[in-house]
Amino acid sequence: MMRRVMAFLAAAGMAVTLAAGHAWGQLTVYPNKPIRLVSPFNPGGAIDVLNRLIAERLSARLGQQVIVDARPGANTIIGTEIVARAPADGYTFLITTNSTHTNNPALYKSLPYDPVKDFTAVSLVSLGSVLFVVAKDAPYNDINGFIAWAKALGRPVSYGSWGIGSSGHLYGTLLEKTVPGRLSHVPYKGEVPAIGDVHGGNLDSTFCSPVGAKAQIAAGRIKPLAMTGAQRSAAMPELATFKEQGIDGLDLTLFVAAYVPAGTPPDIVARLQREIKAVIAEPEVRQKMLDQGQTPVGSTSEELQAVLARESPKWAELIRLSGAKVE
């Protein structure tokens, strides 16, 4: 009799344990609620547009809505800090440019986040090219014509970017080596107002994304001169790179990557990495990214970490040479 009672209690205990385990598994299935994708850029800008495209497709794949939360400002610092301080549960993540993790640490004396300790790398989303545009009635049609014009002009030539220490600003620093003392940087809060000022005649030139400028170029309001990068962009294959036009140094690659707060469970990191890679591989998404001047990648977490280790010193050295600092 005692044996039967003990056997019954053991079986009951096992059943309770299995039921509890099943219930816990049901509660911890990822994802089981909406996910926030923080975009530290102005709405309508190139990376914000890319983030919204990725969020839409991720929502379908994950079975939960991925909501883009645009938090621009302070050269991506505002949005980045939000993610650094978010719970490490996979329900808040960041897609941003190299400004956040490679440029800002060299640009600012202190940051409210640690780019290494506060984040886990998820995936290298894409490699990008940056466009250089001027007014439609500019008396030249290529970068060498621009340089000759800048040398002969009796005033500094203004160029815009999306902020002090941004990739556009640093590319301008390299371009200035061809016309020492003749270029004047004008930082903007995003690329859209800078493009508008080139069209309006208030700015001589600006660095911007192909997607941000395409409509204005098609309408004949501004004129493209060159593209950064080691090779021509699929977004504008007819446009020669700076390198092709004899200007060295502007082939340093701009990249876009995804991160989660440090401490996020590895299985969740792996799930996000797989799904982002799958989204980027979709033919329609891939084509849209190419049209925007982005070369889709979709790397592993380890591959992104290797890119950060390789590229961060290059951008840091460029910032040092530029003398750019932000208090």
Tell me the pLDDT tens digit for each residue of 289-315: 888 888 899 999 999 999 999 888 888
Q: Per DSSP, what are the bridge partners of residue 38?
A: 69, 94
Cβ atoms within 10 A of the Cβ of 1, count? 5
Angle at 311 between CA 162 and CA 278, to 5 degrees: 80
Q: 68: closest CA among 46, 41, 87?
A: 41
Determine whether 137 is exposed, middle or buried from the number of CB atoms within 10 Å of its CB (0-12, 13-18, 19+). exposed
Banded model confidence at residue 253, pLDDT cuts 50, 70, 90: confident
Q: How many CB atoms lie within 10 A of CB 180?
A: 8
Beta-bridged to residue 222, according to DSSP, are 135
**Beta strand 254-261 with 157-161: parallel, antiparallel or unpaired?**
unpaired
pLDDT over 50 (residue 157): yes
Give pLDDT, residue 4.
Answer: 56
What percent of the chain clears pLDDT 70, i.e. is strictly above it? 91
What is the chain's percent helix, strand, coil content, to nearest 5?
45, 20, 35
Summary mean pLDDT of the chain: 88
* Pair 218, 199: CB distance under 8 Å: no
- Joined together, the tokens standing for residue 53 give 């495209």
At 90 the pLDDT is 97
| Whether pLDDT at 196 is above 50 | yes
Give the pLDDT of residue 3: 54
Separation between Cα atoms, residue 323 and residue 316, nearest integer Å:
11
Residue 166, pLDDT score: 82
Triad 110, 45, 193: Cα angle to 5°: 90
Read off the pLDDT band of 74 (50, 70, 90): confident
- Which residue, 180, 209, 167, is CA-closest to 192? 209
Sign of the C-alpha dihedral, residues 292, 298, 304, 310? negative
Residue-level pLDDT at 13 = 52
Strand segments, DSSP code E, in the chain are: 35-39, 66-70, 92-97, 119-128, 131-135, 157-161, 183-187, 205-208, 222-227, 254-261, 294-296
Closest CA to 224 of 256, 232, 169: 232
Average pLDDT over residues 211-234: 91
Cβ-Cβ contacts under 8 Å for 307 (sequence gap 6 or more):
124, 255, 257, 299
When pLDDT is averaged across residues 27-52 and rounded to a whole number, the result is 89
Better-scored residue on pLDDT, 154 or 8: 154
Q: What is the mean pLDDT of residues 15-32?
A: 56
Per-residue model confidence (pLDDT) at position 81: 98
CA distances from 280 to 105, 123, 189, 205, 243 (A): 28, 11, 28, 32, 28
pLDDT over 60 at 18, yes or no: no
- Selected residue with higher pLDDT from 126 and 42: 126
Beta carbons of 168 and 161 less than 8 angstroms apart: yes
On the question of pLDDT at 9 being above 80, the answer is no
